[in-house]
């Protein structure tokens, strides 16, 4: 996820230049969008990724973003809160991530694959109030 993607900017048929978007930027957009969905506790992380440590780059936190020919393919691993309808949460994550990436970058999102890798059993706010 280190390549920058080049987008030609053409405003009113005047070529202005190029815009480069790093894959890491798209990953951050996807992460923030996923965490905004109710029922998502966290993005699952790969804490011991030796390649990321050697490169000195921020870990992708359970996310893989591929961009080719102005198309984005996103793969996310999430932890959901106990008691939610997992299928509904995943559908909302897919929609939110797709819309956020397309709106902010202008790229076409071809797929958003969501993998539920855990469930958080800590008390929710509603349970703490009782």
Among the ranges 8-17, 73-82, 121-130, which has the highest mean pLDDT value? 73-82
Say if CB 109 and CB 94 are below 8 A apart. Answer: no
pLDDT higher than 90, residue 90 = yes
Say if CB 72 and CB 110 are below 8 A apart. Answer: yes
pLDDT higher than 90, residue 100 = yes
Residue 80 CA, distance from chain mean position: 15
pLDDT higher than 50, residue 16 = yes
Which of 30-39, 94-103, 115-124 shows the lowest per-residue confidence on average (mean pLDDT)? 115-124
Specify the pTM.
Answer: 0.74
Instruction: Give the fold, CATH level 3, of 21-129.
Output: Alpha-Beta Plaits (3.30.70)
**Residue 10 pLDDT level (bands cut at 50, 70, 90):** low
Residue 38 CA, distance from chain mean position: 15
Quote the mean pLDDT of the chain: 81
pLDDT higher than 70, residue 5 = no
pLDDT higher than 80, residue 4 = no
pLDDT higher than 80, residue 109 = yes
Q: Sketch the domain layout of the chain as residue ranges.
A: 21-129
């Amino acid at each position: 996820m280190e390549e920058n993607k080049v987008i030609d900017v053409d405003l009113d048929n005047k070529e202005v230049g190029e815009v480069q978007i790093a894959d890491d930027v798209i990953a951050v957009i996807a992460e923030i969008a996923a965490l905004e969905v109710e029922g998502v506790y966290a993005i699952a992380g790969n804490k011991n990724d030796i390649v990321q440590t050697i490169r000195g780059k921020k870990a992708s936190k359970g996310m893989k973003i591929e961009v080719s020919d102005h198309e984005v393919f996103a793969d996310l691993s999430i932890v959901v809160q106990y008691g939610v309808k997992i299928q509904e949460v995943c559908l909302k994550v897919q929609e939110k991530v797709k819309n956020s990436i397309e709106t902010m970058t202008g790229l076409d999102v071809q797929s958003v694959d969501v993998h539920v890798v855990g469930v958080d059993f800590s008390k929710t706010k509603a349970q703490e109030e009782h």
